[in-house]
Amino acid sequence: MSRQLLVQSVGALSAALGIVLASSCAQQGAPPGGPEDLRPPIVIRTVPDTFELLRTLDGSIRFEFDERISERPSSGTFDNAVIISPRTGEVVVGHSSRSLTVELVGGFRPDLVYRVTLLPVVRDLFGNQMRDPFELIFSTGAETVPTTLAGIAWDRITGSGVDEYQVWATALDDDSVVHVAVTDNQGVYAFRYIPGANYEITAFNDRNADAVIDMMEIQGSRSLSIENGDTVFLNFPVLQPDTTPATLVTASALDSVTLLLEFDDYLDPGLVLEMIDLIVATEDGTDVLVDSVLHEHDYLAYVAMVMDSLVVLDSLDAVSQAAAMAAAITAESDSTIADSIASDIEVSQDDPEVLEDIEPIRRRGPPNLDGRSVSPPSREVSPNSAGGRQASGPDGEQLPARRVILLLGNPVLPDVTYNVVINDLENLYGVPLGGGETSFFVAPAGIADTADVADSILVPDTGVVDTVAAEIGIR
């Protein structure tokens, strides 16, 4: 190889090495050995500024960050990550290395207070995500009056708040102005600086993200009037729309005088069940007397009160038996100890010295919804039997159930098949003409004979049964 060729080859090799090194230096990423970036991106500037009054707006606003941000949000799209209230046009979001620009198709209308919410889906190049929403408020001419509407949108079935639901406040005198909010993970929504007006407030699950309230999307609404400067709290439920009536699925005997009916749909807990058309009869047409028809929550309250009453009666029995025992001791020996026992009305059922040889009276309480009799003092009855649900709505609203309990005037008999027919039932959504027909068989020795439950708690001068019946509304 000639000296000239050797020099050319060395030069080419050096140039290639220089290109590789330059390329390596240009690669993105944290320097080796440096601290890991765990800090989320932060909005450091907005255009316009917070609470700025603008006479004119060129059609775009901007969020600037303290570091480079990813071109992909953690969920959805950037267009859906910015909520503009009132919504007067389609939102279009542009991305640059350190900022987001927001435009409203048709422009920002004059004489309005706009609230722009950036949802916490923006993240940096290391995947660190914004922790909280960022809110920008500015005016295009209207006065910024601190009027607030807030509350909880909650699931009518579970009682819990609904997450990421759209909430619209539509002015009844101008339906082109729609104020928008989004619920958090507790179902809380808030409108700030909303002008006073008459509104229709609607919460809905925008499942297809088309910003339209579809007929079959879970939803709920309320109407209210707000004055400028008011702070108003409004909680309201949402429910899946329904067009089919509730159908009777099964009937079963919890005990000889208690029947459980189950439906395929939830029932309104405020529905007056005594007005429905109901028949319970044997296959040969012998009717069974139905004393009461109770919602699930009413029956559980009834069971709880009866169990409380039985605890009281057990205590009265203990005192009575102790006094009788003391009287017997007194008859055999004039003992001051015996006299003391006889006069002591606070004798405990668990006092081994007094009640050692006394057999307590065994009373059978009404069954729980599993068909097992609940006996004091072990009480496992809850005001709400549905697992995974709250006890009530945020304002104490009773939650619905699919079950209804019948208290019978005469017991069902073993080894007999019974038919149940029910008509004119409404479901939770108000759809009428529900009901149906089903049958159940009482197996020999398959249920407890509790026809004497009421008798078992009849004690002179206690008023227990009458009190329970009056409070729960049982005939």
DSSP assignment, residue 383? Answer: S
The domain defined by 248-307+368-472 folds into: Immunoglobulin-like (2.60.40)
Predicted local distance difference test score (pLDDT) of residue 334: 54
Q: How confident is the model at residue 4 (pLDDT cuts 50, 70, 90)?
A: very low
Length of the chain as a residue count: 475
- Cβ atoms of 182 and 169 within 8 Å: the answer is no
Domain range list for the chain: 39-144, 150-241, 248-307+368-472
Which residue(s) pair with 55 in the sheet?
none
Say if strands 166-171 and 178-182 run parallel, antiparallel, or are unpaired. Answer: antiparallel
Q: Which range, of 201-215, 290-304, 313-327, averages the lowest pLDDT?
A: 313-327
Which residue(s) pair with 53 in the sheet?
139
Q: How confident is the model at residue 229 (pLDDT cuts 50, 70, 90)?
A: very high
Q: Taking residues 435-457, report their average pLDDT.
A: 67
Q: Which range, of 69-73, 154-158, 360-364, averages the lowest pLDDT?
A: 360-364
Domains 39-144 and 150-241 share a fold: yes
Predicted local distance difference test score (pLDDT) of residue 57: 75
The candidate with the shortest Cα–Cα distance to 280, out of 97, 437, 122, 465, is: 437
Q: Taking residues 144-152, report their average pLDDT.
A: 94
Q: Taking residues 398-424, report their average pLDDT.
A: 92
Q: To the nearest whole number, what is the mean pLDDT of the chain?
A: 78
Q: Taking residues 394-422, report their average pLDDT.
A: 92
- Among the four given CATH numbers 3.40.190.10, 2.60.40.3710, 3.40.50.2300, 3.20.10.10, the one describing domain 39-144: 2.60.40.3710
Q: Taking residues 11-32, report their average pLDDT.
A: 45
Residue 264, pLDDT above cutoff 90: yes
Predicted local distance difference test score (pLDDT) of residue 307: 74
Q: How confident is the model at residue 349 (pLDDT cuts 50, 70, 90)?
A: very low
Predicted local distance difference test score (pLDDT) of residue 170: 94
Q: Which one is predicted more confidently, 57 or 250? A: 250
SS3 94: strand
pLDDT > 70: what percent of the chain? 69
The candidate with the shortest Cα–Cα distance to 46, out of 125, 103, 99, is: 99
Residue 445, pLDDT above cutoff 70: no
Residue 88, phi-psi category: left (phi > 0), alpha (psi -120 to 50), beta (remainder): alpha
Q: How confident is the model at residue 331 (pLDDT cuts 50, 70, 90)?
A: low
Q: Taking residues 61-90, report their average pLDDT.
A: 91
Q: Taking residues 112-116, report their average pLDDT.
A: 93
Spatial CB neighbours of 359, under 8 Å, sequence gap ≥ 6: none
Q: Which one is predicted more confidently, 329 or 179? A: 179
Predicted local distance difference test score (pLDDT) of residue 474: 53
Predicted local distance difference test score (pLDDT) of residue 343: 54
Q: How confident is the model at residue 324 (pLDDT cuts 50, 70, 90)?
A: low
Q: Taking residues 312-320, report their average pLDDT.
A: 55
Predicted local distance difference test score (pLDDT) of residue 354: 44
Superfamily of domain 150-241: Carboxypeptidase-like, regulatory domain (2.60.40.1120)
